[in-house]
Amino acid sequence: MSGHETHYILPRPAFDKPVKLLIVVAPYYRDIADQLIAGAKAEIEAVGGTHDLVEVPGALEIPTAIGMAERLSNFDGYVALGCVIRGETTHYETVCNDSSRGITLLGLQGLCVGNGILTVETRDQAVVRADPDQQNKGGGAAAAALHLVALARKWGGQRKGVGFKPAQGEYQIASDDKGTRTT
């Protein structure tokens, strides 16, 4: 059972400048959300960081809220928290897959996001994973975001978007009478 295994945990990163994270939580299961939040806050505060907290209606809205905050605010990173418990319909798969995909896409765009959205079969599994004294998945999501912030700072800060960095200066492309391109 995974609750009894030991896992390697990276040491906490150190920061020479303050770090500020946004915790975005879907409190559909309030007691579980509160435990996830407690773990995340403790982890952020352990590195001397600060945090803001916003609530959204459900797990599907978490990536949207993070994307909005990135465009409209000034956070170093983000912690996504929520819980999806399997029910009787395929809605579970939709919510799990689409919220995870949205968070992954934000990360691939250069955002520092820790994913702490629990996707479980039962409430009992959620309680164990959310509890800061047990699996502490909220703290783990905050730690993931903090590690990504540390990497972004190590590599010179975040750039907007992904892919090739545009060349500096102007280049003109022309063709000679033989169709050969020259710059």
Could you tell me the pLDDT band of residue 176, with boundaries at 50, 70 and 90?
low
pTM: 0.83
Identified catalytic residue from 4, 7, 91, 147: 91
Can you give the pLDDT at residue 5?
77
- Beta pairing partners, 117: 82
What is the pLDDT of the chain when averaged over all its residues? 89
* Cβ–Cβ < 8 Å for 1, 30: no
Cα distances (angstroms) measured from residue 156 to each of 22, 68, 147, 149, 151: 21, 23, 14, 11, 9
| CA-based nearest residue to 116, from 62, 53, 47, 51 | 62
| CA-based nearest residue to 35, from 113, 103, 135 | 135
Domain boundaries, the chain: 19-182
pLDDT at 168 over 70: no
Can you give the pLDDT at residue 173?
47
Domain spanning 19-182 has what CATH number? 3.40.50.960
pLDDT tens, position by position, 155-166? 985 555 544 455
Note if 91 is an active site residue: yes
Could you tell me the pLDDT band of residue 177, with boundaries at 50, 70 and 90?
low
pLDDT tens, position by position, 47-87? 999 999 999 999 999 999 999 999 999 999 999 999 999 99
**Lowest mean pLDDT, pick from 14-18, 103-107, 117-121, 158-162:** 158-162
